Amino acid sequence: EAGVAQSPRYKIIEKRQSVAFWCNPISGHATLYWYQQILGQGPKLLIQFQNNGVVDDSQLPKDRFSAERLKGVDSTLKIQPAKLEDSAVYLCASSFGTEQETQYFGPGTRLLVL
Amino acid sequence: AQSVAQPEDQVNVAEGNPLTVKCTYSVSGNPYLFWYVQYPNRGLQFLLKYITGDNLVKGSYGFEAEFNKSQTSFHLKKPSALVSDSALYFCAVKGGYNKLIFGAGTRLAVHP
Protein backbone atom coordinates (compact mmCIF):
# COMPACT_ATOMS: atom_id res chain seq x y z
CA GLU A 1 0.00 0.00 0.00
CA ALA A 2 1.44 3.37 -1.01
CA GLY A 3 1.94 5.86 1.77
CA VAL A 4 1.24 9.56 1.97
CA ALA A 5 3.15 11.43 -0.72
CA GLN A 6 4.39 15.01 -0.38
CA SER A 7 6.33 17.36 -2.60
CA PRO A 8 8.63 19.12 -2.69
CA ARG A 9 10.82 17.65 0.04
CA TYR A 10 12.79 20.85 0.53
CA LYS A 11 12.16 24.49 -0.29
CA ILE A 12 14.18 27.63 0.32
CA ILE A 13 12.54 31.00 -0.28
CA GLU A 14 13.01 34.59 0.77
CA LYS A 15 10.58 36.32 3.10
CA ARG A 16 7.53 37.82 1.44
CA GLN A 17 7.67 35.23 -1.34
CA SER A 18 4.96 32.62 -1.80
CA VAL A 19 5.25 28.85 -1.66
CA ALA A 20 2.95 25.87 -2.15
CA PHE A 21 3.11 22.32 -0.89
CA TRP A 22 1.31 19.29 -2.30
CA CYS A 23 -0.01 16.18 -0.59
CA ASN A 24 -1.53 12.96 -1.89
CA PRO A 25 -3.09 10.87 0.89
CA ILE A 26 -3.38 7.12 1.19
CA SER A 27 -6.04 5.84 -1.17
CA GLY A 28 -9.45 5.67 0.48
CA HIS A 29 -8.59 7.94 3.38
CA ALA A 30 -11.33 10.52 3.77
CA THR A 31 -9.54 12.74 6.27
CA LEU A 32 -6.46 14.77 5.50
CA TYR A 33 -4.41 16.85 7.95
CA TRP A 34 -1.69 19.47 7.59
CA TYR A 35 0.65 19.88 10.55
CA GLN A 36 3.44 22.38 11.14
CA GLN A 37 6.51 21.16 13.02
CA ILE A 38 8.88 23.87 14.19
CA LEU A 39 12.36 22.73 15.15
CA GLY A 40 12.41 21.35 18.68
CA GLN A 41 8.63 21.10 18.96
CA GLY A 42 5.94 18.54 18.32
CA PRO A 43 3.73 18.89 15.25
CA LYS A 44 0.79 21.29 15.50
CA LEU A 45 -2.37 20.92 13.45
CA LEU A 46 -2.97 23.69 10.91
CA ILE A 47 -6.02 22.39 9.07
CA GLN A 48 -8.10 19.24 8.77
CA PHE A 49 -10.27 18.19 5.83
CA GLN A 50 -13.02 15.60 5.80
CA ASN A 51 -13.37 14.74 2.11
CA ASN A 52 -13.22 18.22 0.56
CA GLY A 53 -14.73 20.12 3.48
CA VAL A 54 -12.80 21.89 6.24
CA VAL A 55 -13.37 20.40 9.70
CA ASP A 56 -10.90 22.42 11.76
CA ASP A 57 -8.76 25.38 10.72
CA SER A 58 -8.69 27.14 14.07
CA GLN A 59 -4.88 27.29 14.17
CA LEU A 60 -4.32 28.25 10.55
CA PRO A 61 -2.96 31.82 10.16
CA LYS A 62 -5.57 32.74 7.61
CA ASP A 63 -4.01 36.07 6.71
CA ARG A 64 -1.17 34.23 4.98
CA PHE A 65 -1.96 30.51 4.86
CA SER A 66 -4.56 28.84 2.68
CA ALA A 67 -5.34 25.26 1.84
CA GLU A 68 -7.67 23.38 -0.42
CA ARG A 69 -8.60 19.81 -1.14
CA LEU A 70 -10.29 19.64 -4.49
CA LYS A 71 -12.32 16.51 -5.25
CA GLY A 72 -11.56 15.15 -1.79
CA VAL A 73 -8.19 13.64 -2.70
CA ASP A 74 -5.04 15.75 -3.21
CA SER A 75 -4.44 18.85 -1.18
CA THR A 76 -2.28 21.95 -1.45
CA LEU A 77 -1.12 24.26 1.31
CA LYS A 78 0.00 27.75 0.36
CA ILE A 79 1.83 30.47 2.23
CA GLN A 80 1.70 34.00 0.86
CA PRO A 81 3.62 36.03 1.89
CA ALA A 82 6.06 33.94 3.89
CA LYS A 83 7.66 35.13 7.11
CA LEU A 84 10.86 34.02 8.77
CA GLU A 85 8.88 32.25 11.50
CA ASP A 86 7.24 30.02 8.89
CA SER A 87 10.48 28.05 8.63
CA ALA A 88 9.41 24.56 9.67
CA VAL A 89 8.58 21.09 8.41
CA TYR A 90 5.09 20.79 6.97
CA LEU A 91 3.65 17.35 7.45
CA CYS A 92 0.64 15.91 5.73
CA ALA A 93 -1.25 13.00 7.27
CA SER A 94 -4.33 11.00 6.37
CA SER A 95 -6.73 8.59 8.04
CA PHE A 96 -10.07 6.91 7.46
CA GLY A 97 -11.43 9.57 9.75
CA THR A 98 -12.96 7.92 12.76
CA GLU A 99 -11.86 8.79 16.27
CA GLN A 100 -9.93 5.58 16.84
CA GLU A 101 -8.16 5.49 13.50
CA THR A 102 -4.44 5.95 13.12
CA GLN A 103 -3.09 8.94 11.21
CA TYR A 104 -0.33 8.09 8.73
CA PHE A 105 2.21 10.76 7.90
CA GLY A 106 4.09 11.68 4.77
CA PRO A 107 7.82 12.50 4.71
CA GLY A 108 7.20 16.22 5.11
CA THR A 109 8.38 19.36 3.33
CA ARG A 110 11.19 21.26 5.00
CA LEU A 111 10.77 25.01 4.41
CA LEU A 112 13.48 27.54 5.07
CA VAL A 113 12.54 31.22 4.82
CA LEU A 114 15.51 33.59 4.52
CA ALA B 1 -8.23 20.95 27.19
CA GLN B 2 -6.23 17.93 26.11
CA SER B 3 -2.47 18.03 26.59
CA VAL B 4 0.57 15.77 26.61
CA ALA B 5 3.81 16.12 28.53
CA GLN B 6 7.09 14.39 27.80
CA PRO B 7 9.22 15.32 30.80
CA GLU B 8 12.57 14.23 29.36
CA ASP B 9 14.23 16.04 26.46
CA GLN B 10 16.67 13.18 26.02
CA VAL B 11 17.03 9.61 27.22
CA ASN B 12 20.37 7.82 27.06
CA VAL B 13 20.61 4.04 27.28
CA ALA B 14 23.21 1.42 26.51
CA GLU B 15 22.50 -1.09 23.77
CA GLY B 16 20.90 -4.21 25.17
CA ASN B 17 19.46 -2.45 28.21
CA PRO B 18 15.75 -1.80 28.67
CA LEU B 19 14.47 1.63 27.75
CA THR B 20 11.56 3.77 28.91
CA VAL B 21 10.34 7.01 27.37
CA LYS B 22 7.85 8.79 29.59
CA CYS B 23 4.54 10.42 28.68
CA THR B 24 1.75 11.86 30.78
CA TYR B 25 -1.54 13.18 29.49
CA SER B 26 -4.52 15.27 30.43
CA VAL B 27 -7.88 14.65 28.76
CA SER B 28 -11.56 14.91 29.44
CA GLY B 29 -13.24 11.64 28.65
CA ASN B 30 -11.63 8.47 27.35
CA PRO B 31 -8.03 8.92 26.22
CA TYR B 32 -6.89 7.76 22.81
CA LEU B 33 -3.09 7.69 23.01
CA PHE B 34 -0.42 7.23 20.36
CA TRP B 35 3.34 6.90 20.01
CA TYR B 36 5.21 7.93 16.87
CA VAL B 37 8.90 7.84 16.00
CA GLN B 38 10.74 10.29 13.75
CA TYR B 39 14.08 9.57 12.12
CA PRO B 40 16.19 12.41 10.66
CA ASN B 41 14.61 13.99 7.58
CA ARG B 42 11.70 11.58 7.74
CA GLY B 43 8.05 11.91 8.61
CA LEU B 44 6.43 10.41 11.67
CA GLN B 45 6.10 6.64 11.79
CA PHE B 46 3.30 5.10 13.82
CA LEU B 47 4.45 2.74 16.60
CA LEU B 48 1.38 1.89 18.63
CA LYS B 49 -1.86 3.17 20.11
CA TYR B 50 -4.14 2.67 23.08
CA ILE B 51 -7.86 2.87 22.48
CA THR B 52 -9.35 0.47 25.00
CA GLY B 53 -8.75 -2.96 26.48
CA ASP B 54 -5.45 -4.28 27.83
CA ASN B 55 -3.27 -1.72 29.52
CA LEU B 56 -0.14 -3.15 27.87
CA VAL B 57 -0.10 -2.37 24.17
CA LYS B 58 2.37 -4.01 21.79
CA GLY B 59 3.56 -2.23 18.69
CA SER B 60 6.13 -2.18 15.92
CA TYR B 61 9.85 -2.97 16.24
CA GLY B 62 9.46 -4.62 19.67
CA PHE B 63 8.08 -1.54 21.39
CA GLU B 64 5.27 -1.63 23.89
CA ALA B 65 3.50 0.93 26.05
CA GLU B 66 1.75 0.73 29.37
CA PHE B 67 -1.43 2.72 29.93
CA ASN B 68 -1.94 3.74 33.55
CA LYS B 69 -5.21 5.54 34.14
CA SER B 70 -4.60 6.43 37.78
CA GLN B 71 -1.24 8.04 36.95
CA THR B 72 -2.47 9.39 33.59
CA SER B 73 0.64 7.97 31.97
CA PHE B 74 1.44 6.12 28.76
CA HIS B 75 5.14 5.24 28.92
CA LEU B 76 6.90 3.66 25.94
CA LYS B 77 9.13 0.68 26.69
CA LYS B 78 11.40 -1.83 25.03
CA PRO B 79 13.10 -4.73 26.81
CA SER B 80 16.39 -4.50 24.89
CA ALA B 81 17.45 -1.32 23.10
CA LEU B 82 19.19 -1.27 19.71
CA VAL B 83 21.46 1.45 18.34
CA SER B 84 19.01 1.73 15.45
CA ASP B 85 16.27 2.77 17.93
CA SER B 86 18.02 6.14 18.27
CA ALA B 87 15.47 8.70 17.09
CA LEU B 88 12.94 11.30 18.22
CA TYR B 89 9.84 9.89 19.91
CA PHE B 90 6.50 11.67 20.18
CA CYS B 91 3.55 10.88 22.40
CA ALA B 92 0.16 12.18 21.27
CA VAL B 93 -3.44 12.27 22.42
CA LYS B 94 -6.56 12.66 20.31
CA GLY B 95 -8.19 16.04 20.68
CA GLY B 96 -11.34 17.54 19.24
CA TYR B 97 -12.24 16.66 15.63
CA ASN B 98 -9.72 13.77 15.78
CA LYS B 99 -6.67 16.00 15.66
CA LEU B 100 -3.52 14.76 17.36
CA ILE B 101 -2.03 16.85 20.16
CA PHE B 102 1.67 16.08 20.43
CA GLY B 103 4.19 16.34 23.19
CA ALA B 104 7.46 18.17 22.56
CA GLY B 105 9.28 14.92 21.85
CA THR B 106 12.03 12.93 23.55
CA ARG B 107 15.32 12.19 21.85
CA LEU B 108 16.45 8.62 22.48
CA ALA B 109 20.16 7.92 22.17
CA VAL B 110 21.26 4.29 22.33
CA HIS B 111 25.01 3.86 22.79
CA PRO B 112 26.92 0.79 21.65
Query: Would the CB atoms of A100 and B103 count as touching at under 8 Å?
Result: no
| A30 and A96 Cβ atoms separated by less than 8 Å | yes
Query: Would the CB atoms of A101 and B46 count as touching at under 8 Å?
Result: no
Confidence of residue A101 (pLDDT cuts 50, 70, 90): confident
Instruction: For B53-90, write each residue's pLDDT tens digit.
Output: 899 999 999 999 999 999 999 999 999 999 999 999 99
Residues of chain B in contact with residue A112, where contact means CB-CB under 8 angstroms, are none
> Touching check for A48 and chain B: CB below 8 Å?
yes
Instruction: For B14-57, write each residue's pLDDT tens digit.
Output: 999 999 999 999 988 889 999 999 998 788 999 999 998 899 99
Query: Would the CB atoms of B90 and A42 count as touching at under 8 Å?
Result: yes
> Touching check for B39 and chain A: CB below 8 Å?
no
Residues of chain A in contact with residue B92, where contact means CB-CB under 8 angstroms, are 42
The CA–CA distances, whole Å, from A67 to A11, A16, A76, B101, B102 equal: 18, 18, 6, 20, 22
Residue B110 confidence (pLDDT)? 97
Residue A39: is its pLDDT beyond 70?
yes
| B6 and B23 Cβ atoms separated by less than 8 Å | yes
The closest alpha carbon to A39, from A110, A96, A94, A99, belongs to A110
Query: Would the CB atoms of B98 and A98 count as touching at under 8 Å?
Result: yes
Query: Would the CB atoms of B32 and A99 count as touching at under 8 Å?
Result: yes
As a whole number of angstroms, the distance between CA B75 and CA B6 comes to 9
Instruction: For A60-99, write each residue's pLDDT tens digit.
Output: 999 999 999 988 899 999 999 999 999 999 999 999 877 7
